[in-house]
Structure 1
């Protein structure tokens, strides 16, 4: 069982398709098929159900867990042996939709300019998916909104707490005028959306209509155009409100606080590229270090 076979196996498992795996790896399909068959023959077991795609068998699920660890350790060894004070190599960062549009563009541009030898990449997704990728060695670090109540594999490096406000077109002076309007929010599972629902439910409002946008700028533009209202970080709309493009309303404190974290896997290697990235976040954003007992 060679490491390259495990890498091919992992990509097939992740994509659920020989065709997609071949495209991702830059191989011809017949090569990928042959390597999977060779691995199954060597292990004397079936790793995939071949019906409407490639679906892992129970044995395949077990092998995937080991493959991820083996590939991670090999890559980590390479990083450790080649790491230096001058950051280089790959750095894969994840961020949820709000954070990626609100704070990251300038930060990433600054990092790329300061450390041009680092191959920096960004993945945008929901927090739960980013946490999954952290746990499965697919990201070096990620900005997320929510965390599991307890996950011993995750370290919270930095935290940022901010206030959420209800926003609308300047046409509305009374917050009650917004209760029946559509709310422009991220998809189900977004912490801000959950807090909005809890607040509205506390006021007896349960029939909530949504227009789903996974982009903060699109949400703000939609509110300015009077498509509906939204519930967003106060820092994101200050300039718009000062220019008279929209209006904000405060809601009770138990519903208006949101926290975001920068996380990494606890047993991951702290490379110089990741260490410098964390340092740059702390110096150039409102994110702050957590005390060891809070990590």
Structure 2
């Protein structure tokens, strides 16, 4: 492993391109700076082309500079991750299903604006990928629609997400024939969600596959766009509907007793959450409670 002080010296020299000024910036003597460079060149070969009043990096020097910058960035990430007692500095990492993510991501940005020392990293993903990401320590917090039974994970109920029948604004859906006339806008979970919900509103219906399919989108933020344009209806979780910008262009049809999915907050069980993750989880849960009707 290369000496970290030598790397810092070389990085500064590559930026300043002057031995004396580099020494001043680092609080070292010029002889110490030269010695650090000689140690590196003894291991890696020529790193600098020395000309009067000019220093130029060799290809090996450019490669070492890129490596040193990666090491510095990795050290900074490590410091952020280990600063557990600081709720206002460090990284917030969350991976969640798309529907809830449409609501949570803007809320995360609100938190970051209030505490600029925080860095937000959020990813939309299905349940299996969420679990894998938490187990692989790529994210600190995750949300899943089913409670995992892996002993390496801690899971607690975070929110409930009712399904909703969404139609164009002003459209009445009193009978199955009304849905047939309108047609279905499908999405990756659309038929499964519609089957669960519509059996409450239209018991004995002939099945989702009997409906005309008017469109499909795998982007949760776009599923309601064709509905808003009068091209069909769909069934979505409430948070996806609430995140849609043009609420005046859509309507929700009452379907009786709600069909509700549970959302579970998960993280590794072997170590505690950082203070910033705990605070963010509480803030997000409160935001969702305010959205509930």
Please classify the TM superposition score into its range, dividing by the shorter chain length.
0.5 to 0.7
Q: 1:228 to 1:262 in 2, by over 3 A?
A: same
Going from structure 1 to structure 2, the CA distance change for 1:267 and 1:230 (only over 3 Å counts) comes to same
Give the match for residue 116 of structure 2.
116
1:166 shift after superposition: 1.0
Pair 1:83 & 2:84 matched:
yes
Contact 1:98–1:214 (8 Å) recurs in 2: no
Q: Secondary structure at the match of 1:262?
A: strand
Q: In the TM superposition, what whole-angstrom CA distance separates every residue of 1:66-108 from its partner, at most 9, and x where no partner exists?
A: xxxxxxxx9998667543334322222112111122x124311
8 Å Cα contact 1:195-1:256 kept in structure 2: no
CA contact (8 A) 1:166 1:231 kept: yes
Match of 1:174? 174
1:175/1:129 Cα in 2 relative to 1: closer, same or farther (>3 Å)? Answer: farther
User: Which consecutive residues of structure 2, in runs of 5 or more, have no partner in the other structure?
Assistant: 2-62, 64-74
Pair 1:232 & 2:236 matched: yes
Alpha-carbon distance in 2 for matches of 1:119, 1:244: 34
| 1:238 positional shift | 7.1
Deviation string, structure 1 residues 214-242 (Cα, Å, up to 9, x no partner): 444422221111222111244665799x9
Structure 2 residue 273 is the aligned partner of structure 1 residue 270:
yes
- Rounded to whole Å, the distance in 1 between the matches of 2:179 and 2:120 is 42
Q: 2:161·2:238 contact (CA, 8 Å) conserved in 1?
A: yes
Which residue is 1:98 aligned to?
99
In structure 1, stretches of 5+ residues that fail to align are 2-30, 32-73, 288-295
Inter-partner Cα distance in structure 1 for 2:125 and 2:80: 26
How many pairs align?
A: 211
For 2:276, what is the secondary structure of its paired residue? helix
Q: After the TM superposition, which of the residue ranges 152-161 and 206-215 deviates more from structure 2? A: 206-215
Is contact 2:159–2:263 with CA below 8 Å preserved after alignment? yes
**Cα gap change, 1:268 to 1:214, in 2 (>3 Å):** farther
Measured in 2, the distance between the counterparts of 1:186 and 1:267 equals: 37
Give the drift of 1:125: 1.6
Instruction: Please identify the structure whose Cα radius of gyration is greater.
Output: 2
The superposition leaves residues 171-203 of structure 1 with CA deviations (integer Å, 9 ceiling, x where unpaired) of: 44434121465433431xx3x642322455763
Closer/same/farther in 2, CA of residues 154 and 239 from structure 1, 3 Å limit: closer
Distance in 2, Cα, partners of 1:112 & 1:106: 10
Helix, strand or coil at the partner of 2:289? coil
Could you tell me the TM-score, scaled by structure 2's length?
A: 0.58
**Is 1:203 equivalent to 2:202 in the alignment?**
no
User: What is the deviation of 1:278?
Assistant: 1.3
Query: Counterpart of 1:250?
Result: 254
Change (3 A) 1:143 1:159: same
What SS is found at the alignment partner of 1:264?
Answer: strand
State the distance in 2 between where 1:124 and 1:235 align: 14
SS in 2 for 1:203: coil
In structure 2, distance between residues paired with 1:180 and 1:272: 53
Partners of 1:249 and 1:229 lie apart in 2 by 10
